[in-house]
């Protein structure tokens, strides 16, 4: 196949934010773009993420924003310098979607919904000539012989991709391909990691996929599970030491579940918690049930004579401990501690809770692991597979919720799309 401007044809596999942004970048360079997705419609995980309010990005300055990507900061930085949170908001405005900054600094569409944004975006992409092929699951390249040949291909080899469709297998040849197939979280929405063996068979390194922004198991008693599962624990702080001996101490809200702990505070710390559990087999965190009060104040209040009042009434009246917080104290402490005011005060400020393991990756909001950036060039092309670009959660990075995940997915899709356009020789693609 010729790779001229007039006939360049690129496949984007995966119809999430990264894939759609890659398709837009390619179409703007005059490239014919075919988006293939295994699901009946695109953007399913995107729509699901927006059900509770579409948190699209975050308003904090770029430097602390970049810090949210941890060990992958230096690799994510060039992507966000190309398409960062401010550029994303401007892009949304061009799409007809106005945004606002919430009290937490998170950025939302004014209507808080994902569906109108997705509809407007798809309309624009179709108007630009992007073609969509649904229920088209990518199952690899055409032959093993071609696979071997492509591994040492010259710069402009074509890629014959094979898709499983409702009408049988279909092979299509493209000048380049952008893979945006997601990680391994929420497989029922399409991110099933079926791409891993397809790439490892071609000697592409893939770091193990692990749950991120996930909950963790705790061995609760039947009583706590039955009475308090599903209840939020507000105004609480978590502290622990990670594998690098860094002490984490952060305040927020958690959710007590039948299996353990979840919620925004747990998600924000999930990477460090997960790595410590992987290193040591478990992790005991300390919960501060009264983060607004210093230990001395809690000690003073708890040791006051309580007269005929029950310990429950005493704790509620003196330090505001009741409901699920009181239940956590009874769950984790021996009965004799409630008769020992100094020990009880210390437990209120540092209640030990043992986290056993991360919840299964299929339940996680996102996943860590994937194709390392070291295997890619600056355009996100796999170095030893010319014409194969990768974007989104397929890459080895992670970030907490708060708009950081989506922003990097958009940015990586744009960079991969521009890279694929430049690879095919599209006019002005590298500008």
Q: Is 221 helix (H, G, I), strand (E, B) or coil?
A: coil
In the chain the domains, ranked by start, together with CATH numbers, are 9-211+366-424 (3.50.50.60), 216-355 (no CATH)
How far apart are alpha carbons 26 and 14 in whole angstroms? 15
Is 6 a residue whose pLDDT tops 60? no
Question: Are residues 241 and 269 in contact, defined by beta-carbon separation less than 8 angstroms?
Answer: no
Q: In the predicted model, what is the mean pLDDT of the chain?
A: 92
Question: Are residues 46 and 16 in contact, defined by beta-carbon separation less than 8 angstroms?
Answer: yes
Burial class from Cβ neighbours inside 10 Å (0-12, 13-18, 19+) for residue 423 reads: buried
| pLDDT for 52 | 72
| pLDDT for 186 | 86
How far apart are alpha carbons 110 and 366 in whole angstroms? 25
How far apart are alpha carbons 324 and 268 in whole angstroms? 22
Is 430 a residue whose pLDDT tops 90? no
List the structure tokens of 94.
């061009």
What pTM did the predictor assign?
0.90
Is 1 a residue whose pLDDT tops 50? no
| pLDDT for 308 | 83
| pLDDT for 64 | 95
Mean pLDDT of 127-144: 92
How far apart are alpha carbons 182 and 118 in whole angstroms? 18
Q: How far is CA 237 from CA 46, 111, 248, 253, 275, in A?
A: 30, 32, 10, 8, 20
Q: Which of 115, 249, 180 is nearest to 394 (CA)?
A: 180
């Amino acid at each position: 196949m010729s790779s001229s401007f007039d006939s360049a044809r690129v496949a984007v596999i995966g119809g999430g934010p990264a894939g759609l942004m890659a398709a837009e970048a390619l179409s703007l360079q005059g490239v014919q773009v075919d988006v293939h997705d295994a699901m009946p419609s695109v953007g399913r995980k995107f729509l699901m993420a927006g059900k509770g309010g579409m948190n699209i990005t975050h308003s904090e300055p770029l430097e602390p924003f970049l810090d949210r990507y941890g060990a992958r900061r230096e690799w994510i930085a060039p992507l966000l310098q190309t398409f960062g949170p401010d550029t994303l908001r401007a892009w949304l405005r061009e799409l007809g979607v106005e945004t606002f900054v919430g009290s937490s600094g998170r950025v939302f569409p004014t209507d808080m919904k994902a569906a109108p944004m997705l509809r407007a975006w798809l309309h624009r992409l179709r108007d630009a000539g992007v073609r969509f092929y649904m229920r088209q699951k990518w199952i690899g390249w055409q032959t093993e012989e071609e696979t071997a040949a492509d591994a040492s291909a010259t710069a402009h080899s074509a890629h014959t991709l094979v898709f499983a469709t409702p009408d049988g297998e279909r092979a299509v040849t493209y000048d380049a391909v952008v893979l945006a197939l997601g990680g391994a979280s929420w497989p029922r929405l399409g991110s099933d990691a079926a791409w891993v063996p397809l790439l490892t068979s071609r000697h592409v390194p893939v770091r193990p996929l692990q749950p991120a922004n996930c909950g963790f198991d705790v061995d609760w008693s039947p009583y706590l599970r039955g009475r308090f599962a599903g209840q939020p624990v507000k105004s609480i702080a978590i502290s622990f030491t990670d594998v690098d001996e860094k002490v984490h101490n952060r305040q927020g809200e958690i959710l007590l579940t039948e299996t353990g702990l979840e919620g925004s505070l747990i998600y924000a710390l999930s990477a460090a918690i997960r790595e410590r559990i992987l290193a040591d087999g478990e992790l005991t965190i300390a919960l501060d049930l009264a983060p607004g009060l210093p230990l001395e104040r809690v000690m003073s209040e708890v040791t006051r004579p309580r007269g005929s009042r029950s310990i429950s009434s005493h704790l509620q009246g003196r330090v505001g401990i009741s409901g699920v917080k009181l239940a956590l104290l009874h769950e984790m402490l021996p009965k004799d501690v409630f008769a020992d005011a100094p020990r009880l005060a210390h437990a209120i400020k540092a209640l030990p809770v043992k986290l056993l393991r991360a919840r299964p990756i299929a339940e996680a909001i996102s996943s860590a692991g994937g194709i390392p950036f070291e295997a890619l060039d600056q355009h996100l092309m796999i170095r030893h597979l010319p014409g194969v670009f990768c974007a989104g959660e397929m890459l080895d990075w992670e970030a907490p919720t708060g708009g950081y995940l989506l922003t990097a997915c958009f940015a990586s899709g744009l960079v991969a799309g521009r890279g694929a356009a430049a690879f095919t020789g599209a006019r002005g693609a590298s500008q």
